[in-house]
Amino acid sequence: MEISFLKEQKTKTYEYDYEDYEDGGKSSETMVEDILADPEFALLTEVIIGDWGDAWEEDCQAIIDGVVKNADRFSHIERLFIGNMDFESCEVSWIMQGDYSRLWGAMPQLKALTIKGSTELSLGKIEHENLEELTIICGGLPEEVLMSIQEAHLPNLRKLLLYLGVEDYGFEGDAGRIRTFLEKADFPKLTYLGLTDSEIQDELVEVVLESKFIDQIVTLDLSMGSLTDKGGELLFAKLPTYPNIEVLDVHYHYMSDEMVRKLEKLNEHHIEVDASEREEAYTSSYDGTVYYTPMLTE
């Protein structure tokens, strides 16, 4: 097992490498057992779980169930990340996730949950009084997951970061669906809204700017998607009218250098702007179609 321990942050990463899985008999079935046997576990406030050995074939349900079964021993864990692995271990679209419906009641102390991968992901009915951050990293966000979040009871949620992704890898919505999501979701303390990694990023700008959350959030994250000058112009025109906005994150985009310079002028309105990582659209030599690809898909 390869681990890293940052004492100041009380964070530890647990993961298996190829030898652990192939020769050591390790898998998702043994992960929680190994975590609980670690003498440093009692010192932690955050657990990060990476590759469990064959994440493209075996889901992480045994890990989730193990946490739930041993909820009393995980009662000091305030931050949990399941699926933290790069493409060399497993492409995000291949990560086999699981059903988190029992986790909400088992970990009432949980403040932050990050999930990477959306294949076989189910959140169930979300009711949690203390969760402050929810992040879903994936190449395509399924409708079932979006609906669970839309109907969630999360009165203390401060940060919501969703990778929407693309249709080919599981995103089942459009700008109208996200508009409905923002209309019906109820997060009274939300200060960070991230709708990222989408091929409809320009359309999402208009949707977000018309949503009820635009008057309360401090950080607007529209990064890692297909944002062009069309969306950039709208942000430049509208954001100065919202004094609550302090941070705009649009890194990884398809805007022109001129548009980037305009957005950076929002600093004059005390808005910190990240418009780094400018991408070039791909034009097909076959039919001339121009493609704007989000950062994370497969």
Domains, in order of start, for the chain: 2-215 (3.80.10.10)
CA distances from 131 to 104, 158, 201, 213 (A): 9, 8, 27, 18
- pTM for the predicted model, two decimal places: 0.94
pLDDT at 9: 62
Residue 189 Cα to chain centre, angstroms: 18
Q: Check: CB of residue 64 under 8 Å from CB of residue 268.
A: no
Residue 127: is its pLDDT beyond 90? Answer: yes
Cβ-based burial of 119 (10 A; exposed 0-12, middle 13-18, buried ≥19): buried
Residue 7: is its pLDDT beyond 50? Answer: no
Closest CA to 152 of 95, 196, 209, 190: 190
Residue 1: is its pLDDT beyond 70? Answer: no
Give residue 73's pLDDT band: very low, low, confident or very high (50, 70, 90). very high
Average pLDDT, the chain: 93
Distance CA 140, CA 227 (A): 17
Please write the tens of the pLDDT for every residue from 131-156.
999 999 999 999 999 999 999 999 99
Q: Which of 17-26, 76-85, 194-203, 264-273 has the lowest mean pLDDT?
A: 17-26
Q: Which amino acid is present at 55? A: A
Average pLDDT over residues 76-96: 92
Q: Check: CB of residue 261 under 8 Å from CB of residue 233.
A: no
